[in-house]
Amino acid sequence: MVHIAHHTEEDTAVSRGAVDAVYRKVLVRETGAISKPEEKGPHFMAIPGDNVRRLRLEKGWSMRELAERCVTESRTMDHTTIMRLEKNKGFTLDTLSRVAKALGLASHEDLLVPAELAGWEKLSGEDRAQVARMVEALAIASEHRTPA
């Protein structure tokens, strides 16, 4: 299994914890669909299918049209793959990567951002770093709060 955690050069000024606080921790096999993404970390966040559906609908595409845009010279994809992904019923790293590219995202990791941060994929590296620092600061502050 591969832990999805990609950091760009823009993120180097931000601690690893801050960036990881924004990205959802999901383990995805290199090959072979997984039937249920594994949750890592203390917070429940949106899973990739929610973001795929939101972005697909923003573009006005059907599942079939998105699948057609994911076809490469060596790999096919049909609408049932998109349907399974949107329902979070199983996906591979390859599927996430091809779908992200078809949706115009810089990385498959942009599909792992919680729904509360919809629009993350449109932020510049500097803005992402600023948001990540704020999340890290809030996480540290919450650790030091006394329970009510």
Give the total residue count for the chain: 148
Helix (H) or strand (E) holding 25: strand 25-28
| pLDDT tens digits for range 90-130 | 889 999 999 999 999 988 988 888 767 777 878 888 998 99
Please report which helix (H) or strand (E) contains residue 27, including its range. strand 25-28
Residue 6 pLDDT grade (very low, low, confident, very high; cuts 50, 70, 90): very low
141 residue type, one letter: A
Indicate the pTM of the whole model: 0.60
Name the strand (E) or helix (H) holding 40: strand 38-40
**Which class is 2-143 in CATH?**
mainly alpha
pLDDT 10s digits, 46-88:
579 989 999 999 999 999 999 999 999 999 999 999 999 999 9
Closest CA to 112 of 42, 21, 16: 21
